Structure 1
Amino acid sequence: MLKKLTAVLGAVAMAGAVSVMSAPQASALAASPTALCGSGYSVVDSEKLINREVWTYLLYNSSNGYNCVVTVRGESGPAVKMSARLQVQGSAEKYDTGSYTKYAGPVYAYAAGKCVRWGGWFSESDQSSYFSDWEHCG
């Protein structure tokens, strides 16, 4: 019994550690990724940009086959160069780059049955960036 309890408590502790490292709840961001992309979109993946309170999100709408990418700051601030990037395998990259106070994007592309590369960057020097390998195929 004690062994089972220890195993369960260890699993709960690990689950808690994993949730601490994941992206913040939409309410903790300057803008909600699902609200930015629109009705029917769900978060598929996210990546925190290095040393920043900025996240890039990949979302998908299963009813229309489109992906959406947004890069969102943790808090609004002065306008800073930001980008959201999305590429469907076999197609040209789409992106939204500019000086923004809250978010870059949304960037949309039809991707049903195909792999995508996605990501974004934040800051003048482009040192806080992420661009995935080909993934989320199908």
Structure 2
Amino acid sequence: MRAATRRIAVISSAAALFSSILLGGTAHAETLSDKAASICGSGYYVQRSHVLSDRQTQGVTAFQLYNASSRKNCAVTLKHPTTSSFYGSKTTLGAGMRAEGGSWVREEGAFAYYAGPVYVNASGKCVQFWGKTYQSGASSVWYETHTSSFANCG
């Protein structure tokens, strides 16, 4: 009986070690904010976001991010992987940003997962971000845009 118990303990320990190595430790579900930050790059964090569409079949959110080290702003528009039936299919998305007094920098096109990243250096100025989604299904069309107010000045 002891040998069987020892074998089970060894197998359990080996399985735990293998899972830890394979999965890189404890599993962590990546949030939309995490994904937006990883798209913009190291050191970026979300300042503001706006849900363009939270209907069950076409979830999309526009994000404004900032990196304190580089003093750059970033905009990304993401499809929700768990609620967008269009996730992975190319539909029209747009992401954009501008510094107060400056011109818009935008990326718009057919994307499967996200539009952007779009970067603006706005030291000492307020910024505005923009997002767009256009998705058509068998019996309906969803078109939504959002243009934020100027904020996050500095």
In terms of Rg, which structure is larger? 2
The aligned residue for residue 47 of structure 1 is 50
Tell me the distance in 2 between the aligned counterparts of 1:97 and 1:37: 16
RMSD: 2.0
Q: Once the two structures are superposed, what CA deviation does each residue of 1:2-59 show, in whole Å capped at 9, x if it has no partner?
A: xxxxxxxxxxxxxxxxxxxxxxx97254x81011000111111111003441111100
1:134 shift after superposition? 1.2
Match status 1:60 vs 2:66: yes
Tell me the distance in 2 between the aligned counterparts of 1:26 and 1:130: 27
Q: Is the 1:28–1:74 contact (alpha carbons within 8 Å) kept by the matching residues of 2?
A: no
Tell me the distance in 2 between the aligned counterparts of 1:26 and 1:69: 22
Q: Greater relative contact order (Cα 8 A, min sep 6): structure 1 or 2?
A: 1
Aligned residues: 113
Q: Structure 1's 95 and 126: CA in aligned 2 closer, same or farther, altered over 3 A?
A: farther
1:121 shift after superposition? 0.4
TM-score between both structures, scaled by the size of structure 1 = 0.75
Q: Structure 1's 87 and 74: CA in aligned 2 closer, same or farther, altered over 3 A?
A: same
Tell me the distance in 2 between the aligned counterparts of 1:43 and 1:59: 4
Structure 2: state its 5+ residue gaps: 1-27, 82-86, 136-140
The aligned residue for residue 73 of structure 1 is 79
The aligned residue for residue 124 of structure 2 is 113
Tell me the distance in 2 between the aligned counterparts of 1:99 and 1:45: 24
Moved over 4 A (4+): none
Tell me the distance in 2 between the aligned counterparts of 1:79 and 1:26: 24
TM-score between both structures, scaled by the size of structure 2 = 0.67
**Partner amino acid, structure 2, of 1:63:** S
